[in-house]
Amino acid sequence: MENFEPTIIAFVCNWCTYTAADLAGTSRLFYPKNIRLIRVMCTGMVDPQYIIKAFLEGADSVLISGCHPGDCHYINGNYKARRRIKLLKEILPQFGFDPQRLRLTWIGASDGIQFAEIMRDLTLQMKALGPSQTKLKMVI
Ligand code: FES
């Protein structure tokens, strides 16, 4: 288990978190290679089916990250995302998913340092949790 490297799928908003990831990269800030970024135009377009599919196909964690409340470029997409994630976290255990593996954050375009910190923190948290049971069930 000590060599476990989690796979983390991150749906990131084009306008804020993706830009922060780009800034982290150009600033040469370290963050783990475990993160797979999926660039979306807004967190409001992340359908819960995408999240479930990511878990079923082997993600150990799914992160949704976008503009801070009030800064969404599509007015209220991030508020919709926040409501969806809250509901999803409540029903995930009924389907055998651990809600701790789903995270929602707000990372602004100029927050490259925060982006790298959150990615390091999430990776450490997933290493401590171990492989997703959903993934293990699929392998068996
Ligand atoms: S445009 Fe970034 S969360 Fe909506």
Which of the listed residues 73, 76, 105 should we mutate to test ligand 1's pocket, taking the one with most ligand atoms within 8 A of CB?
73
Beta pairing partners, 11: 38, 64
For residues 88 and 99, what is the distance between their CA atoms, to the nearest angstrom?
Answer: 8
Domains within the chain, CATH numbers bracketed: 8-139 (3.40.50)
CA of 38 to the centre of ligand 1 (A): 14
Claim: this prediction has a pTM higher than 0.85: yes
∠ CA 70-76-78, nearest 5°, is: 80
Query: Looking at residue 137, what is its pLDDT?
Result: 63
What are 24-82's pLDDT values in tens digits? 999 999 999 999 999 999 999 999 999 999 999 999 999 999 999 999 999 999 999 99
Residue 67 Cβ inside 6 Å of ligand 1? The answer reads yes
> Please, are residues 66 and 17 in contact by the beta-carbon 8 Å criterion?
yes
Q: Which atom, in ligand 1's list, is nearest to the CA of 66?
A: 3
50 lines ligand 1 (CB under 6 A): no
Q: For the chain, what is the radius of gyration of the CA atoms?
A: 15
Report whether residue 78 contacts ligand 1, using a CB cutoff of 6 Å: yes
109 pocket-lining for ligand 1 (C-beta < 6 Å)? no
Contact 6, 36 (CB under 8 A): no
Q: Yes or no: say if 8 and 35 are a contact pair by the CB < 8 Å rule.
A: yes
Question: Does residue 140 carry a pLDDT above 60?
Answer: no
Distances (CA, A) of 52 to 101, 102, 118: 11, 10, 22
